[in-house]
Structure 1
């Protein structure tokens, strides 16, 4: 029998700790969350029997079609995500692996997360009202808007809230709806000045939109490339940078004008 060389003995000795490290990596929790398409909600519709958007101090229109805000659903912040979960997530189109601190920037305390998300939603709603009224030249002193969608957190519904307010108050400006009777979905933060910002998780949100009947998806222009990676068949992307730009794009879609594309 040939003598065991020094190199072979070294490799054999290293194999055990390497195998142990690989096994530990497979089963050890990792700082990631798994996300999937979440719920969508029509901001022109009702929630628990009450309109999502209520306007007082100004006449509102009866609208048709839907404007759906979109979300992602992530694993619990305390969930143990192992290497096998991460690998599985990379190869699935209906699931995404995201850094846990990107999904839960305030840590893993459920109460703190809930407070943070609620505060972000309230801020989003407030800026959406300011953006919509500013776009229409209406004064907040004369028009009061109340938004009801308390069980969805975060800032990413700002654009859709603002569009819903514009549609309720003015439509497309010629007697028609911004939606043209379609189901329009989208995502994006918004500033009081009407600027639309990126949100993350867009590929999953496009899947949620298609699942719930949308034919058009409004995406922050900065996230066009992300939105195209897993774009469901039959869902049209429209990039937007501002609220006024989103309104103009929807009008063009309805009346045969030039519609922006990713």
Structure 2
């Protein structure tokens, strides 16, 4: 029931920005690849042209169908155009994944107002725009929207990034509001609360002065399982939420975190 044959998936933030240490890939790309492997025609939207092209090339080499679109997820016209191009190319949109996000280290005393607003915009406004322009097509297809949130939206995870946490908490509530607002149309809207996941972002944005080995060891130690999850773990959850296997799952905030969300301290 997790097959996606004949369906079209659009992944905002699905580019392949370059492999991290040990062949580590990002969540957006792994989800796009997984959707394609399950039979969907995939559209990868990314503001980085090379990342979008690289994702499409790798997915095609893997045997999948992928169309790259270059668009900044904070640019309303570009987002609308990306959705229009997808519908023109494939005739429909069945699956939307809002995957754009970034961390922003620092508390209120350290952050400028512009830094705060940018963190909120990147993590929240991009989900709003993805929903705004894709939802009419999801209604037509009785499709599924998947928003990538974080366990940081409901728990302290050891990183001082309240702007990121607050924005992701807003993504959670937006997810559940849309789930009820559109429930009678057949559209399902769910979120994945990613935990400590081994992705290039972790090394790029949370590294400080630490080296790769130290970063990986520290993040592994924070996980209840003793090891971080992978982007593939998140992708498999996304596939479930995108497919008929979850046909009566709506408004769920699904942690993919090895149990981190239930641990106190």
Structure 2-normalised TM-score? 0.31
Larger Rg: 1
Structure 1-normalised TM-score? 0.32
User: More helix by proportion, 1 or 2?
Assistant: 2
User: More strand by proportion, 1 or 2?
Assistant: 1
